[in-house]
């Protein structure tokens, strides 16, 4: 608590971690390229330098606010320094903005423009490095890396993976997997969180839109889209919608206009997941085997368990993810010639997630030798397709999802936030769906900001111990405790992305704290406004069980094992 | 592929420093001391054994100049190019060695793996500048001629 | 060695040791510092030892109770260029450049008869000097840190104890509270010798104040990365015990029981001596738990650097000890609050610690009598470059550059004309003629855009090209940049590019201003001291020698002919006999001529390699001024 003078104006501060936050709260958008409030302070870009009353300059991201400080943020020399720093970065950068994937979203580009940089006085003498296309999820372009280290810290600190790190030093420094290998040769779990924080196009989403355009153009192909819950609260970012607004209906309409033959809601198959997973949970509780049950809807998490905790492989729920269930059921539906009517079916899933691209290619995402989900595109890629088409998102007449898989419960929708799966499963286990019961379930502890959420719930006289966490570093803390016997749970829900899929690796970037919160709230609001709250009350679910799924539940909804 | 003896040796070194993150550098130093380079396979092995990420181990190894993934020659010649040596004309010494051995700034080791020529900033014997170090031995007051003579002597040439 | 578990045993050993000394008829100190070892002093040591042992008239040191001769390996005696050095006590004869064939005479005349071997004395201006104290080089120095260096066996704990070693620790443990030790150091005004000049006492206070911490660390910075500096190395190899005692005092003062010494990779001898010293101290129980029967415990570890100058920076150094890349981190948190493994840490330089035993023993007031008011005590320097006497020196703070260069250093080599002295290495700047009479202390030097730094003094004469020197330092810092922050990683690279093109004759109008602009930005925005100070050599040479830069850029001339690309080779027809040897050796065929007539160089083709000049037996090829 104290006051400081920023550019001549008195500003009070409370518990801000650093001077930078105080400056930003005071309404000055001081430029930075290496600061993320959720990562440790690195101090590499030096753009956040400010000047004190004695003319001393210091980096505001790493200075504690002190009472009585007098600082200036926009003196002539600071402006010159910043411009030169950006100039130096651009001089060592392959600056082909107009054909760059990040053009328009790029922090470096934006800064160059904002600071009025007009000329780069130095030649780029760096040798061009090859791009790494080995991962199905992300592409690394070392030529565009500005060595801010955000990806490295994200991967190590938040995800606890450490697939990439700095190597060499000085002007030879690079960010790379060990021994300059390709990303596919590492234990990268494809979460794409590195890409979320990367300010430039050095890490981008592996683009699969071309395949979608081609499928749409093919007259003999039925192109079916499924849209994941988290997409609806983020897709509007690029089109000026209020943050976190539920744009599902507009998205459906847009997809139709883009040429998709059918558009469905993945929240529908999330309901299927709830049915299957709660059944499985009850069975395991009964038998006492393979507890705790580990959720399986996040492929990055599943990959982590199989690689780092192989002894818990059998604990992973055998349920396919909502994406997997949906595609399997849909493909099965069109295997019937009567339904197919001579057309080939291509399932495109629109996901907040880069790891889903990997999941779709996993051997157990195939049914009868066929890949269930043909193409996975992320929210960001869909935005691009919309922009390319020229369709006006804000002027489109909303439409609802197609039938027969177009109805979803609120429980299915909240899959997009951390704790959502758990809440949905508990709702299913509750004997009734009275308002009070639902309220009680929502207050059990699955929601909220805590790193690790532990709570218990009574089920038929038995206490179920549950743990909900997001972020894979946190997940590993949980697993280490389980492994050592320090913690005992019956159910563990993990989402690889901190806060859940709303903050997935494929979502639009540059989301500030308010956006993050708005996306979460957006999904809870969507839940609040649905009439159907519980998965088992979704009328379509019963139809599906009675129809297409009959006798094939296992084949279509479960995985044999995770490898 | 390295044979088992390498791994046995590394196990021994690891035991000495303990399985912790802070052991990484001393372990790499000892491996490098033993084999005059740091075989990549061994680094991977060490990372696994002491429980750190491979990318991290690679990151640390490439940060420090002393670690090399390339085998070095039998004689590692470090020509000092510290300030004292530089102002007393160390560059001609280095150039003479490069010329004599057919090496360059990019190529440090001779084909026959006898000599590696590197530069170093100060060996702590500035009073005797220019200096150079052959393996662990410091040679004072070098001249291009003395350097070449030394190389010939080490090579066993009869001058 | 017996264990020393009480203060009584310690004084007993001290007594025995001094008795032993009185029994010593004579004592041969062979310098075994890095410099002298390089010139072959270890062979001299072996030879002298063998000669004494083989001689029936000489008793060697093993016979403790009879009159005997002691032969020991000392640390750097300070006059490395004239090594191998041998000193013989009690006569205090200083022999220089001792060769194998001199050993016999030394034994026969000096050891047996106490006679000097005059021809091995140092000579200057036809005057021969028998004793170090008479040699101007030594006479003008004040040796506190280096008092034992070169005077005792650097590998003998008992000798260190014999000369009063560990009496400061004893005094602290038995007569002073930890607070009193901190106070004494604080009052002494001792400032960090590693470059920054931060008051050591204040640092210690801050660490001592962390009463809550379960663990604290004492770290010694022995990374000494400045190329051209070897003071810390000399202390570590010449008097390792003193450094350790200083660290133990710090441990006691701030409440720490764990110490780390980080030694530069290129100092194998320092590592060896420190390891030996630690092993001896552990065996004697002077390191470990309950030292001298008190509650004080101290454990000491050694880390070797792995070749990264930036690891001399405090936070990079602790990162390196922890097993990470040596990348400096942002501060706060400060090392005193969260240093090694995020625990409160005292991090000081070798020389800083080596000053502490003296301060504790003789008191802050004594220390303040040496040096200047704001920079107390002495400073060691390594005096190198174009100077007559190179070596390791120690003078009171505030000594002028003139005294150092002319009185101690004996003036420039070959009576050349003084041009500048680079102080503080790649982080420092150059001082010129105008500053010769300024006192050298932390604050004065700063005023001239340089820093005392760790104490490297490289003297340059008129034949040194200052632009080339600036390029040299920039290439050093650029190579050593950790690459973390943009100003340093990218900015120093661009500065180097500009300097390279200037010395290559491709300088452009406006380059000086561009250098200054980049320098200003880097100094004010870089993360750590490496970047912040990297442009200083450039700035200070531009300031003092701007016209040299301009000549390079505008006239494409290097007045010292250092810059190869700017040299113009010519053949003097008066001397040329037309032998054609130059033409044969020219790699690019730039020389043409007719036999027996003067040859000609085509400067368009010439790549300035100098082969013609080297090959002309008649000195006909010259470089145009
Ligand atoms: C790039 C860089 C290199 C440094 N190298 C050394 C060094 O080799 N030795 C040293 O004692 N201090 C060095 N320092 C200074 C240390 O950061 C630190 O200030 C010092 O060790 C503290 O000890 P002192 O207060 O006793 O001087 C260096 C600083 C920087 C920025
Ligand atoms: S990464 Fe940014 S600055 Fe670089 S080319 Fe792409 S848009 Fe331009
Ligand atoms: S912004 Fe400039 S560089 Fe880019 S396309 Fe337009 S005119 Fe060309
Ligand atoms: S995708 Fe995730 S695991 Fe892979 S490198 Fe990026 S952050 Fe690390
Ligand atoms: S890849 Fe992106 S996030 Fe990572 S260091 Fe480079 S620019 Fe920064
Ligand atoms: S949390 Fe969601 S977005 Fe993130 S990796 Fe898992 S499934 Fe994908
Ligand atoms: S100033 Fe240079 S050495 Fe220091 S942190 Fe920045 S890049 Fe690294
Ligand atoms: S070598 Fe000398 S003397 Fe012979 S031709 Fe050349 S310049 Fe003339
Ligand atoms: S300096 Fe070299 S290139 Fe020029 S003339 Fe002489 S030998 Fe030929
Ligand atoms: S934000 Fe402060 S240095 Fe990058
Ligand atoms: S500069 Fe070469 S030994 Fe110090
Ligand atoms: S090493 Fe012998 S005098 Fe310096």
* C70-98 per-position pLDDT tens digit: 899 999 998 998 989 999 988 999 999 99
Joined together, the tokens standing for residue C297 give 């415990």
Percent of chain A residues past pLDDT 70, beyond the cut? 99
Joined together, the tokens standing for residue C359 give 């301060």
pLDDT, average across residues A487-496:
97
What pLDDT, on the 0 to 100 scale, is given for residue C64? 52
Looking at domain A2-74, its CATH architecture is: Roll (3.10)
What pLDDT, on the 0 to 100 scale, is given for residue C220? 98
In the CATH scheme, what is the code of domain A210-557?
A: 3.40.50.1780
Residue C326 pLDDT greater than 70, yes or no: yes
Between positions 76 and 115 of C, the ones with CB within 8 A of B are 79-81, 83
Q: How far is the CA of C39 from the centre of ligand 11 (A)?
A: 14
Q: Which atom of ligand 9 is nearest to the CA of C589?
A: 8
Percent of chain C residues past pLDDT 70, beyond the cut? 98
Looking at domain B4-63, its CATH architecture is: Orthogonal Bundle (1.10)
Q: At what angle do helices A266-287 and A539-546 cross, to 10 degrees?
A: 70
Looking at domain A89-205, its CATH architecture is: 2-Layer Sandwich (3.30)
Could you read off the pLDDT of C441-466 as tens digits, one per residue?
Answer: 999 998 888 888 888 899 999 999 99
Q: Nearest-CA distance from C538 to chain A in Å? A: 19
Percent of chain C residues past pLDDT 90, beyond the cut? 82
Residue-wise DSSP of A509-558 = S---HHHHHHHHHHHHHHHHH-S--SGGG-HHHHHHHHTTTTTTHHHHHB
pLDDT, average across residues C433-440:
93
Where are the domains positioned within chain B?
4-63, 75-155
pLDDT, average across residues C275-298:
97
Mean pLDDT computed over every residue of chain B: 93
Ligand in nearest proximity to the CA of A118: 3
CB contacts, 8 Å: C526 with chain A: 46
Q: What residues contact residue A558 under an 8 Å CB cut-off, 6+ apart? A: A276, A318, A319, A320
Give the residue among A419, A555, A559, A432 at the shortest CA–CA distance from A494: A419
Query: Exposure pattern of C13-40 as b/e (b: 16+ CB <10 Å)?
Result: bbeebeebeebbbbbbbbbbbbbbbbbe
- Which residues on neighbouring strands pair with residue C153, listed in sequence order? C74
Q: Which of C478, C479, C481, C519 to mutate to test the pocket of ligand 7 (most atoms within 8 A of CB)?
A: C481
Residue-wise DSSP of A40-65 = -----S-TTEEEETTS-EEEGGGS--
Which H or E element spans position A457? strand A452-459
**Using an 8 Å Cβ cutoff, are C527 and C488 in contact?**
yes
Identify the residue among A153, A165, A169, A182 best suited for mutation to test binding to B, counting B beta carbons within 10 A and taking the highest.
Answer: A165
Could you read off the pLDDT of C224-266 as tens digits, one per residue?
Answer: 988 888 999 999 999 999 999 999 999 999 999 999 999 998 8
Least trusted range by pLDDT, from A78-87, A346-355, C426-435 = C426-435
Q: Nearest-CA distance from A93 to chain C in Å? A: 11
pLDDT, average across residues C358-375:
97
pTM of the model: 0.94
Quickly name the fold that domain B75-155 has.
Answer: Glutaredoxin (3.40.30)
Identify the residue among A179, A181, A186 best suited for mutation to test binding to B, counting B beta carbons within 10 A and taking the highest.
Answer: A179
Q: Is the ipTM of this complex over 0.90?
A: yes
Q: At what angle do helices C268-283 and C240-254 cross, to 10 degrees?
A: 60
Q: Please identify which residue in the block is written with the tokens 């919309």.
A: A386
Among A235-239, C344-348, C427-431, name the most confident range. Answer: C344-348
Asked, colleague to colleague, whether B4-63 and B75-155 share their fold, the answer is: no
pLDDT, average across residues A513-531:
93
Residue A93 pLDDT greater than 90, yes or no: yes
The closest CB to that of C230, out of B78, B86, B122, belongs to B122
Q: How far is the CA of A145 from the centre of ligand 5 (A)?
A: 5
The answer to whether the CB atoms of A85 and C526 lie below 8 A apart is: no
CB contacts, 8 Å: A176 with chain B: 55, 58
The answer to whether the CB atoms of C38 and B128 lie below 8 A apart is: yes
pLDDT confidence bin for A311, thresholds 50/70/90 = very high
CB contacts, 8 Å: A91 with chain C: 490, 494
Which H or E element spans position C49? helix C41-54
Q: How far is the CA of C328 from the centre of ligand 7 (A)?
A: 7
Q: Nearest-CA distance from C149 to chain A in Å? A: 37
pLDDT, average across residues A449-458:
92
Identify the residue among A170, A171, A178 best suited for mutation to test binding to B, counting B beta carbons within 10 A and taking the highest.
Answer: A178
* Interatomic CA distance for residues A378 and A351, integer angstroms: 5
Residue A129 pLDDT greater than 70, yes or no: yes
User: Residues with beta carbon inside 6 Å of ligand 8?
Assistant: C 571, 576-582, 599, 615-616, 618, 620-621
Ligand in nearest proximity to the CA of C528: 7
Q: Which of C228, C229, C387, C390 to mutate to test the pocket of ligand 11 (most atoms within 8 A of CB)?
A: C228
pLDDT confidence bin for C1, thresholds 50/70/90 = low
Please identify every stretch of chain B with a pLDDT value under 50, giving residue numbers as ranges: none
The closest CB to that of A165, out of B40, B44, B56, belongs to B56
Q: Which of A21, A28, A39, A47 to mutate to test the pocket of ligand 10 (most atoms within 8 A of CB)?
A: A47
Q: Whose Cα sits closest to atom 7 in ligand 5?
A: A145
Q: Which atom of ligand 4 is nearest to the CA of A354?
A: 1
pLDDT, average across residues A76-89:
98
Identify the residue among A84, A89, A142, A175 best suited for mutation to test binding to C, counting C beta carbons within 10 A and taking the highest.
Answer: A84
What pLDDT, on the 0 to 100 scale, is given for residue B158? 54
**Using an 8 Å Cβ cutoff, are A273 and A297 in contact?**
yes
Could you read off the pLDDT of B107-132 as tens digits, one per residue?
Answer: 999 999 999 999 998 898 888 999 99
What pLDDT, on the 0 to 100 scale, is given for residue A563? 46
Q: How far is the CA of A32 from the centre of ligand 10 (A)?
A: 5
Could you read off the pLDDT of B28-38 as tens digits, one per residue?
Answer: 999 999 999 99
pLDDT, average across residues C14-21:
88
* Interatomic CA distance for residues C325 and A165, integer angstroms: 11
Q: Whose Cα sits closest to atom 4 in ligand 3?
A: A98
What pLDDT, on the 0 to 100 scale, is given for residue C625? 60
Where are the domains positioned within chain A?
2-74, 89-205, 210-557
The closest CB to that of B87, out of C268, C323, C460, belongs to C460
The closest CB to that of B138, out of C34, C320, C472, belongs to C34
- Which residues on neighbouring strands pair with residue A469, listed in sequence order? A452, A494
Mean pLDDT computed over every residue of chain C: 93
Torsion sign, CA atoms C165, C168, C170, C171:
positive
* Interatomic CA distance for residues C581 and C599, integer angstroms: 10
Percent of chain A residues past pLDDT 90, beyond the cut? 90
Check if C307 has its Cβ closer than 6 Å to any atom of ligand 7.
Answer: no
Joined together, the tokens standing for residue C395 give 């003078």
Q: Give chains near B: 3+ CB pairs under 8 A.
A: A, C
Ligand in nearest proximity to the CA of C313: 1
**Helical ranges in C255-372 per DSSP H:** 268-283, 314-322, 350-362, 364-368
Could you read off the pLDDT of A207-234 as tens digits, one per residue?
Answer: 999 999 999 999 999 999 999 999 999 9
Ligand in nearest proximity to the CA of A150: 5
Q: Does A89 touch chain C (CB under 8 A)?
A: yes
Q: How far is the CA of C382 from the centre of ligand 11 (A)?
A: 10
The answer to whether the CB atoms of C323 and B124 lie below 8 A apart is: no
The closest CB to that of B126, out of C37, C230, C460, belongs to C230
User: Residues with beta carbon inside 6 Å of ligand 11?
Assistant: B 80, 82-85, 122-126, 129, 131; C 227-228
């Amino acid at each position: 608590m104290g006051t400081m003078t920023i550019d001549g104006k008195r500003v009070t501060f409370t518990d801000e971690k650093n001077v930078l936050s105080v400056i930003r709260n005071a309404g000055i958008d001081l430029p930075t390229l290496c600061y993320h409030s959720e990562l440790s302070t690195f101090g590499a870009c030096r753009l956040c330098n400010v000047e004190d009353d004695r003319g001393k300059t210091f980096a505001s991201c790493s200075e504690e606010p002190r009472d009585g400080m007098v600082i200036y943020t926009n003196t002539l020399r600071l402006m010159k320094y910043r411009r030169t720093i950006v100039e130096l970065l651009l001089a060592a950068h392959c600056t082909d903005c107009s054909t760059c994937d990040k053009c328009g979203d790029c922090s470096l580009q934006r800064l160059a423009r904002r600071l009025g940089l007009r000329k780069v006085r130095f030649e780029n003498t760096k040798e061009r490095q090859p791009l790494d296309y080995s991962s199905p999820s992300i592409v690394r372009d070392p030529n565009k890396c500005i060595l801010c280290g955000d990806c490295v810290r994200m991967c190590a600190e938040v995800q606890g993976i450490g697939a990439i790190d700095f190597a060499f030093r000085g002007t030879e420094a690079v960010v790379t997997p060990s021994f300059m290998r390709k990303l596919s040769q590492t234990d990268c779990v494809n979460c794409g969180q590195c890409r979320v924080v990367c300010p430039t196009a050095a890490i981008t989403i592996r683009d699969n839109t071309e395949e979608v355009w081609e499928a749409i153009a093919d007259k003999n192909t039925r192109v079916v889209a499924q849209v994941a819950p988290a997409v609806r609260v983020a897709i509007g970012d690029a089109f000026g919608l209020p943050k976190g607004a539920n744009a599902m209906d507009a998205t459906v309409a847009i997809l139709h206009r883009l040429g998709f033959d059918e558009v469905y809601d993945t929240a529908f198959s999330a309901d299927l997941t709830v049915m299957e997973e709660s059944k499985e949970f009850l069975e395991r509780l009964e038998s006492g085997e393979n507890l705790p049950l580990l959720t399986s809807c996040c492929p990055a998490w599943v990959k982590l368990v199989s690689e780092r905790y192989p002894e818990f492989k059998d604990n992973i729920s055998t349920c396919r993810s909502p994406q997997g269930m949906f595609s399997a059921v849909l493909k099965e539906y069109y295997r019937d010639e009567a339904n197919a009517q001579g057309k080939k079916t291509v399932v495109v899933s629109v996901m907040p997630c880069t790891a889903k691209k990997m999941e779709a290619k996993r051997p157990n995402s195939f049914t009868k030798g066929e890949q269930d989900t043909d193409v996975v595109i992320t929210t960001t890629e869909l935005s691009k397709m919309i922009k390319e088409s020229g369709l006006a998102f804000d002027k489109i007449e909303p439409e609802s999802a197609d039938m027969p898989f177009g109805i979803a419960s609120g429980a299915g929708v909240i899959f997009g936030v951390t704790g959502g799966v758990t809440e949905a499963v508990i709702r299913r286990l509750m004997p009734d769906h009275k308002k009070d019961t639902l309220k009680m379930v929502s207050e059990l502890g699955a929601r909220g900001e805590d790193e690790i959420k532990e709570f218990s719930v009574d089920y038929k006289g038995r206490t179920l111990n549950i743990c909900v966490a997001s972020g894979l570093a946190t997940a590993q803390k949980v697993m280490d405790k389980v492994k050592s016997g320090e913690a005992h749970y019956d159910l563990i829900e993990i989402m690889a992305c901190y806060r859940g899929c709303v903050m997935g690796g494929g979502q639009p970037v540059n989301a500030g704290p308010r956006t993050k919160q708005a996306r979460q709230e957006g999904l809870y609001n969507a839940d609040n406004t649905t009439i159907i709250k519980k998965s088992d009350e979704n009328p379509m679910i019963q139809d599906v069980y009675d129809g297409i799924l009959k006798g094939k539940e296992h084949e279509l909804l479960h995985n044999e094992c995770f490898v | 592929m390295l044979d088992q003896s390498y791994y046995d040796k590394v196990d021994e070194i690891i035991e000495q420093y303990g399985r912790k993150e802070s052991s990484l550098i001393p372990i790499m130093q000892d491996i490098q001391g033993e084999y005059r380079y740091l075989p990549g396979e061994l680094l991977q092995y060490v990372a696994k054994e002491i429980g750190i990420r491979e990318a991290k181990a690679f990151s640390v190894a490439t940060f420090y100049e002393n670690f090399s993934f390339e085998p070095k020659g039998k004689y590692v010649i470090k020509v000092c190019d510290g300030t004292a040596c530089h102002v007393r004309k160390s560059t001609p010494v280095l150039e003479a060695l490069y010329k004599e051995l057919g090496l360059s700034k990019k190529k440090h080791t001779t084909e026959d793996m006898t000599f590696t020529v590197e530069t170093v900033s100060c060996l702590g014997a500035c009073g005797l500048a220019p200096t150079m170090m052959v393996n662990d031995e410091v040679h004072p007051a070098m001249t291009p001629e003395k350097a070449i003579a030394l190389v010939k002597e080490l090579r066993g040439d009869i001058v | 060695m017996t264990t020393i578990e009480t203060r009584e045993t310690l004084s007993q050993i001290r007594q025995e040791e001094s008795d032993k000394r009185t029994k010593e008829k004579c004592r041969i100190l062979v310098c075994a510092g890095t410099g002298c070892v390089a010139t072959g002093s270890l062979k001299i040591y072996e030879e002298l030892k063998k000669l004494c042992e083989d001689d029936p008239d000489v008793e060697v040191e093993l016979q403790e109770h009879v009159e005997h001769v002691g032969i020991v390996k000392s640390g750097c005696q300070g006059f490395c260029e004239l090594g191998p050095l041998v000193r013989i006590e009690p006569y205090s004869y200083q022999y220089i450049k001792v060769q194998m064939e001199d050993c016999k005479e030394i034994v026969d005349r000096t050891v047996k008869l106490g006679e000097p071997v005059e021809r091995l004395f140092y000579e200057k201006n036809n005057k021969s000097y028998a004793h170090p104290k008479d040699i101007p080089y030594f006479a003008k120095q004040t040796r506190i840190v280096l008092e034992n260096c070169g005077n005792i066996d650097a590998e003998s704990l008992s000798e260190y104890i014999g000369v009063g070693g560990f009496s400061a620790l004893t005094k602290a443990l038995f007569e002073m509270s930890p607070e009193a030790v901190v106070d004494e150091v604080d009052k002494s005004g001792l400032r960090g010798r590693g470059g920054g000049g931060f008051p050591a006492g204040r640092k210690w206070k801050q660490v001592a104040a962390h009463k809550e911490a379960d663990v604290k660390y004492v770290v010694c910075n022995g990374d000494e990365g400045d190329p051209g500096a070897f003071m810390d190395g000399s202390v570590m190899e010449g008097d390792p015990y003193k450094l350790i005692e200083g660290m133990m005092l710090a441990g006691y003062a701030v409440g720490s029981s764990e110490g780390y010494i980080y030694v530069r990779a290129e100092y194998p001898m320092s590592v060896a001596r420190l390891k030996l010293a630690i092993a001896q101290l552990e065996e004697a129980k002077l390191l470990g738990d309950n030292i001298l029967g008190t509650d004080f415990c101290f454990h000491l570890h050694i880390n070797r650097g792995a070749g990264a100058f930036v690891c001399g920076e405090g936070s990079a150094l602790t990162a390196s000890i922890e097993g990470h890349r040596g990348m400096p981190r942002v501060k706060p948190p400060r090392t005193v609050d969260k240093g090694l493994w995020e625990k409160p840490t005292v991090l000081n330089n070798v020389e800083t610690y080596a000053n502490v035993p003296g301060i504790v023993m003789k008191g802050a007031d004594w220390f303040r009598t040496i040096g200047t008011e704001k920079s107390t005590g002495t400073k060691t320097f390594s005096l190198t470059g174009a100077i007559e006497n190179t070596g390791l020196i120690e003078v009171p703070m505030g000594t002028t550059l003139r005294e150092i260069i002319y009185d101690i250093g004996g003036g420039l080599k070959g009576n050349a004309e003084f041009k500048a002295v680079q102080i503080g290495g790649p982080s420092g700047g150059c001082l010129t003629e105008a500053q010769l009479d300024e006192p050298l202390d932390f604050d004065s030097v700063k005023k001239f855009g340089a820093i005392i730094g760790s104490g490297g003094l490289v003297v340059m004469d008129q034949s040194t090209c200052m632009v080339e020197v600036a390029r040299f330092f920039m290439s050093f810092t650029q190579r050593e940049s950790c690459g973390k922050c943009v100003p340093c990683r990218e900015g120093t690279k661009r500065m180097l590019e500009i300097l390279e093109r200037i010395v290559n004759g491709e300088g452009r109008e406006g380059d000086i201003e561009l250098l200054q602009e980049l320098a200003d930005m880097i100094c004010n925005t870089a993360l750590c001291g490496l970047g912040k100070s990297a442009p200083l050599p450039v700035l200070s040479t531009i300031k003092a020698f701007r016209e040299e830069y301009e000549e390079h850029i505008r006239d494409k001339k290097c007045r010292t002919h250092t810059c190869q690309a700017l040299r113009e080779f010519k053949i003097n027809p008066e001397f040329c006999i037309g032998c054609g040897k130059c033409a044969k050796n020219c790699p690019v065929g730039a020389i043409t001529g007719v036999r027996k007539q003067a040859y000609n160089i085509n400067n368009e083709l010439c790549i300035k390699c100098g082969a013609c000049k080297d090959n002309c037996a008649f000195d006909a090829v010259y470089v145009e001024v």
